[in-house]
Chain A
Amino acid sequence: MKKTLLAAGIAAMMLGATPVMAKTLVYCSEGSPEGFDPSLYTAGTTFDASSKTIYNRLVQFKPGTTEVEPAIAKSWEVSDDGLTVTFHLRDDVKFQTTDFFTPSRMLNADDVIWTFERQMDENNPYYKLANGSFEYFNSMSMGDLIKSIDKVDDHTVKFELTKPNAPFVANLAMDFASIHSKEYEQKLLDEGKPELANQQPLGTGPFQFVNYREDAAIRYKANPDYFRGKQPIDNLVFAITSDAQVRYQKLMAGECQVMPFPNPSDVEDMKQNDDINVLEEAGLNVAYMAYNTQMAPFDKPEVRKALNMAIDKQAIIDSVFQGAGQVAKNPIPPSMWGYDDDIKDDQYDPDKAKQMLKDAGVENLKMNIWAMPVQRPYMPNARRTAELMQSDLSKVGVDAQIVTYEWGEYLKRSSDTKRDGAVILGWTGDNGDPDNFMGVLLGCDGVGGANRSQWCYKPFDDLIKKARTLDNQDERAKLYKQAQEIFKEQAPWDTLAHSTVFMPIRKEVTGYKIDPLGGHSFEGVDIE
């Protein structure tokens, strides 16, 4: 490949077609983006190609963490009643100048208001264009939460909320809240081609869009006007490479410098390679098996606990995750604030489990274990996991059958309150807030939906509802710790694992940080 590049480079130089010696980073991305307007989509692949490169948000997650820090808003304050959040915007933020648009003004409050109006105001032309299908905005219930957004002055925006909601500010760091240029989108509307906003995206971010060859490559260049300064690399290329094996070959051949989602079985081999650094970090996720707590005998906490104790989770980590993960004991991952490390997990103890089942009057138990048909970031192989569980359970006299469905069907059927069986599933955090795990997955509102254990337990639900309304993080953390104790006592899930995320990069790449929320960002990355 070096020879190829050299030959091609010489040929290009002779013809004077390509400027040389610009620093270019090639990222072997795993798939094609659905489009470039992050408000319309929910897939991480799409966000990497749009919000993470081209756009900024009012606030952002500090790189490599889930901590919220200023971005376009230099500061913000929340009123005492928690109903008003006021953002003070930077005055040095400029939208990108590209072949297709030249901004006439700096970013101001109008752009911020426009960004949210287009996702919630039925009269906004962009709302109409998308038929209101802003799925992430909707699924975070932002429409119900925001009462109004007002411009105080050019650089101050005030959000009025319908109820106090602590995760609200963190939600605004999420991809769907990327700030759009009102001026640009108005221009597209005037020209009668508003849909171009999804094909020729324009934001304030570190990289600006150059062009996209469908399913092949996306090209960006560093935004010279970026408010944190121009990036060290000049060009960024996403070379779309859907097969993990091929990504690895490309990385070895130097055709790309960074690749996501390696095959777990290749990681050891990659670590041996002198040209490659394998970055790794605990992902902000959890894999679990949810009992149907509305169905006997799984409505009894002692039965659920006994089954948990019958399953050897370390064996699952060793053979399914191949060590790339850790046993979970809480419903939230250890890197998240509010995590209670004092919780004692139900230890693997088949003899005691057998006795507990007997004491609970459960004999010759037959149950289903649902194994999802797809690989997910939190679960490399659910089928294999279920098989290990099946054999563990048989040792305590429980006859487990493995069932599975097509993925969409699996998600739907597993939500049903009358579902027969325990479901293997998991979750990756959206905004780094414990409410995003415990509230969404275990709250009473989620029964029949994302709460797969169909578990509505008032003492727990009261705690998380209260924590949602408080602004003070220490006080909230206390409530979440209490909630984790109740969770462990009641055991609506068997908490299985938190997986490790691997990111193979070439040795010459510096400054890359793994995003615990699962995104891929190249801000601050350099090549030596």
Chain B
Amino acid sequence: MFKFFLVKLAQLVPTFIGVTIVAFSFIRLLPGDPILLMAGERGISAERYAQLKSQMGFDRSLIVQYFDFLKGLLHGDLGNSLVTHAPVMDEFMSRFPATLELSLFALAFAVIIGLPAGVLAAVKRGKTLDHTIMGISLTGYSMPIFWWGLLLIMLFSTILGWTPVSGRISYMYFIEPVTGFMTIDSLIAGDWGAFLSALHYLILPSIVLGTIPLAVIARQTRSSMLEVLGEDYVRTARAKGLSNFRVIMVHTLRNALISVVTVIGLQVGLLLAGAILTETIFSWPGIGKWMIDAISRRDYPSVQGGLVLIAFIVMIVNLLVDLAYGVINPRIRH
């Protein structure tokens, strides 16, 4: 098991180097220049421009800049934001928990609804319930996030007044960040009202962000269940006279879960991508919104640093998913 882990880890190294190259060149390939954008209509004198450029280190050759970036990366230093002048690592770490919290709630929503829905659809294959569930999940999968978010806001927040429009917690509360998770920090602070408020603000964005993963999980669960239901050992289990519930929950679901877990793991990358839009709609102060601002201001260090960190996280999650297979299914334990 440990050897398997090491091999997987070693395989990540070339991927990671590739990511640094892409992240570094991506923002530089975009037309635009942070200094010119900052100067706006006013413009900037050529000498002042040259001065700022050299202060930012952009007058050096790209190769030198890239290796400088790599060197910093190995020391955990991603440079400073051109806009706020704060270290990119700090900026990222102060916002990442917000994205993670939202993604976890969205994923929980997707799994809690999606998994049973998929099982149900498989069991009731070909019946109205199956068609209904699959129809809804296809709609969910094709839903444009921005539109879906605004629709829910208009209905539940503006018209019905059940949920807040946007934000992460009511402005009445200011919770000192400890873990960065608003729900956990408010409990640490012992502020029950803040905890409820944080949950309240999580409802809509979690639903919006969780909609597509929910649809994917439901469909994958269904097809995987159907596959396993046709296996000999399921027939054997039935022949032995086991209850239908036991056959489905123990003999079928457990085996069907292997491919479902893969899909859930793959959702993490999608969740982070979806978070960018969701965070914009719900004014959620996470890395998605932060990256968009950084890209539009051509804040090179923030964009390249943010991309590398996000890619790193996705890679680690995929590694964990690989390891989780072994736990779920001893047959592929290496």
Given contacts A32-B293, A139-B44, A239-B171, contact A1 B193 (CB under 8 A): no
Task: Specify the chain B residue showing the minimal Cβ separation from A140.
Answer: B42
Q: How far is the CB of B166 from chain A (nearest CB, A)?
A: 5
Residues on A with beta carbons closer than 8 Å to the beta carbon of B194: 17
Given contacts A15-B193, A18-B173, A24-B171, contact A409 B32 (CB under 8 A): yes
Given contacts A8-B170, A253-B161, contact A426 B153 (CB under 8 A): no
Q: How far is the CB of A417 from chain B (nearest CB, A)?
A: 13
Q: Decide if B41 touches A12 in the complex (CB within 8 Å).
A: no
B38 at the interface (CB under 8 A from A): yes
Q: How far is the CB of A441 from chain B (nearest CB, A)?
A: 9
Q: Decide if A408 touches B298 in the complex (CB within 8 Å).
A: yes
Chain B stretch 54-111: residues in CB contact (< 8 A) with chain A? 55, 83-85, 91, 94-95
B313 at the interface (CB under 8 A from A): no
Q: Decide if B167 touches A411 in the complex (CB within 8 Å).
A: no
Specify which of A42, A138, A406, A440 lies most central, judged by the most chain B CB atoms within 10 Å of its CB: A406
Residues on A with beta carbons closer than 8 Å to the beta carbon of B132: none
Q: Decide if B31 touches A405 in the complex (CB within 8 Å).
A: yes
How far is B298's CA from A14's CA once the two chains are assembled, in angstroms?
A: 47
Given contacts A8-B193, A214-B285, A406-B31, contact A245 B150 (CB under 8 A): yes
Residues on A with beta carbons closer than 8 Å to the beta carbon of B161: 1-4, 253
* Interface residue tally on A, bucketed by range: 35 or more
Residues on A with beta carbons closer than 8 Å to the beta carbon of B249: none
Q: How far is the CB of A207 from chain B (nearest CB, A)?
A: 15
A162 at the interface (CB under 8 A from B): no
Q: Decide if B32 touches A426 in the complex (CB within 8 Å).
A: no
B126 at the interface (CB under 8 A from A): no
Given contacts A15-B193, A214-B94, A253-B165, contact A411 B41 (CB under 8 A): yes
Q: Decide if B171 touches A407 in the complex (CB within 8 Å).
A: no
Residues on B with beta carbons closer than 8 Å to the beta carbon of A5: 170
How far is B41's CA from A7's CA once the two chains are assembled, in angstroms?
A: 48
Q: Decide if A246 touches B281 in the complex (CB within 8 Å).
A: yes
Specify which of A4, A35, A241 lies most central, judged by the most chain B CB atoms within 10 Å of its CB: A4
How far is B260's CA from A309's CA once the two chains are assembled, in angstroms?
A: 67
Q: Decide if B200 touches A243 in the complex (CB within 8 Å).
A: no
Q: How far is the CB of A222 from chain B (nearest CB, A)?
A: 16
Mark B144-172 against chain A: 1 for CB-CB distance below 8 A, else 0: 00000010011001100111111110111
Residues on B with beta carbons closer than 8 Å to the beta carbon of A405: 31
14 examples of A-B residue contacts, CB within 8 angstroms: A1-B164, A4-B200, A17-B173, A42-B39, A131-B55, A139-B44, A249-B158, A253-B164, A253-B165, A255-B166, A406-B30, A409-B33, A415-B43, A427-B41
Closest 4 CB pairs of A and B: A215-B285, A11-B193, A408-B36, A406-B31
